[in-house]
Amino acid sequence: MSLWLQSALEALDEGDYSNLRRLLAVSPLSLPACMLREIEYGETHFQGSSQNSLFPMRFMWLMECNEQRMFGHAPLGRSRYHPEKLLAFWDRAANDEVFRNEMKKQGFRFDLEEKAIEMTAGWIYIGESFANDLIEIERAIGEEMLFPDPDTGERRAVFREQKVKV
């Protein structure tokens, strides 16, 4: 699966969505629907764009989840952004115009209609179900991801409240 993911990530990095679609047909596992939504966001917004790109958070989670399952590696090495902190930042920016405008002055860009934010690594598709998307990926791999706690550094599960509801 690692070689397939590497090829998929390279296609995403290059904005080569036609190659990515071919790779989807030979995926070693049934991809969660959230990953397809992320691809669709990239296709509709960044195909052929040399200035903007998608940061494929869900693909990074899939790779990190698999690496944690196989080797015990902690997430965030590839995905960079702590999912709970990122979602809290998004929620505040989406609901607080003063905060959002301040963040825009600092160089952040927001797609409020499609629910995405541009970070240093690229555009991150938040979508309608960011927390549940991570849970969906964990289920596909069969492993609960343990992220370093931003305050203590201890590894712990994220979105625990959402997991109780599901």
Which tens digit of pLDDT belongs to each residue from 22-34?
Answer: 999 999 988 999 9
Domain definitions of the chain by residue range: 32-165
H-run or E-run covering 94: helix 83-95
Confidence of residue 12 (pLDDT cuts 50, 70, 90): confident
Question: What is the structure's pLDDT at 51?
Answer: 78
- The whole-angstrom separation of Cα 21 and Cα 149 is 35
Closest CA to 119 of 85, 75, 73: 85
Closest CA to 107 of 98, 117, 115: 117
Which pLDDT tens digit goes with each residue over 102-136? 999 999 999 999 999 999 999 999 999 999 999 99
Region at 39 (left for phi over 0; alpha for psi -120 to 50; beta for the rest)? alpha
Quote the pTM value.
0.93
pLDDT, averaged across the chain: 93
Closest CA to 124 of 74, 87, 96: 87
